[in-house]
């Protein structure tokens, strides 16, 4: 477990707490988001898989609410492995475009948990690009008619387990 620091943002445009909360809210199996307790238990019990890193539920909570901002690189690598994202995402080693790409992939995976969204996406596979473009236009028109934003909102935002 790392020692708390007082740094905030690390150059990727968001704080460690924001990135962790984004992962907790979006990178989970169907159902409820992971809790701090479950993640701490999985990482601490997976000696070989997570490099022998030990972390507590309380420390994860402090990282997620910004009270601790400087955990060890080993813990950040273990968390990245748990959430299946590049280690650089939590280590702050990615450029802004790279970090945004990771977040876009996380949002995509979260959206694909919705069976109806998945069915629409899978039905478009194999259609010519111009037909896929037409479907995108139709969906955009429906969103506009329903006074929804052009792009769907980020799922999550719930900080369960803190």
Give the distance from CA 104 to its chain's centroid: 9
Whether 30 and 91 share a structural domain:
yes
Whether 23 and 87 share a structural domain:
yes
Distance CA(159)–CA(24), nearest Å, equals 8
**Looking at residues 93-102, what average pLDDT do you find?**
89
In a domain, 161, yes or no: no
In a domain, 26, yes or no: yes
Whether 65 and 134 share a structural domain:
no
**Looking at residues 20-36, what average pLDDT do you find?**
88
Q: Which residues of 86-107 are buried (b: 16+ CB within 10 A; e: fewer)?
A: bebbbbbbbeeeebeebbeebb
Overall domain count for the chain: 2
Whether 66 and 81 share a structural domain:
yes
Q: What are the DSSP calls for 58-103, one per residue?
A: HHHHHHHTTS-----HHHHHHHHHHHTS-HHHHHT-S-HHHHHHHH
* End position of a domain, from candidates 111, 137, 153: 111
The kind and range of the H/E element at 43 are: helix 36-45
In a domain, 156, yes or no: no
Whether 106 and 124 share a structural domain:
no
In a domain, 40, yes or no: yes
User: For residue 148, what are the contacts with CB-CB under 8 A and spacing of at least 6?
Assistant: none
What is the residue-averaged pLDDT of the chain?
82
Q: What percent of the chain has pLDDT over 70?
A: 85
**21, pLDDT greater than 80:** yes
**156, pLDDT greater than 50:** no
In a domain, 5, yes or no: no
pLDDT in tens, 45-88: 977 889 899 999 999 999 999 999 899 999 999 999 999 999 89
In a domain, 139, yes or no: yes
Of 31-35, 57-61, 110-114, 132-136, minimum mean pLDDT range: 110-114
Whether 56 and 122 share a structural domain:
no
pLDDT computed for residue 60 by the predictor:
97
pLDDT computed for residue 32 by the predictor:
81
Tokens 């990135």 sit on residue: 19
Instruction: Quote the domain boundaries for residue 68.
Output: 16-111
In a domain, 11, yes or no: no
Whether 22 and 78 share a structural domain:
yes
Whether 40 and 106 share a structural domain:
yes
pLDDT computed for residue 148 by the predictor:
87
Of 110-114, 136-140, 142-146, minimum mean pLDDT range: 110-114
């Amino acid at each position: 477990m790392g020692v708390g620091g007082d740094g905030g943002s690390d150059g990727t445009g968001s704080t460690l707490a924001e990135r962790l909360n984004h992962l907790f809210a979006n990178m989970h199996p169907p159902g409820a988001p992971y809790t701090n307790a479950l993640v701490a238990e999985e990482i601490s019990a997976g000696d070989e898989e997570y490099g022998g890193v030990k972390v507590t539920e309380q420390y994860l909570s402090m990282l997620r609410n910004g009270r601790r901002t400087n955990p060890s690189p080993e813990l950040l690598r273990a968390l990245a492995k748990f959430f299946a994202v590049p280690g650089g995402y939590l280590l702050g080693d990615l450029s802004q475009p790279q970090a945004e790409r990771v977040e876009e992939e996380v949002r995509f995976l979260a959206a694909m948990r919705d069976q109806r969204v998945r069915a629409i996406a899978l039905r478009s596979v194999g259609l010519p690009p111009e037909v896929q473009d037409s479907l995108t236009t139709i969906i955009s028109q429906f969103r506009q008619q329903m006074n929804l934003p052009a792009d769907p909102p980020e799922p999550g935002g719930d900080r369960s387990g803190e």
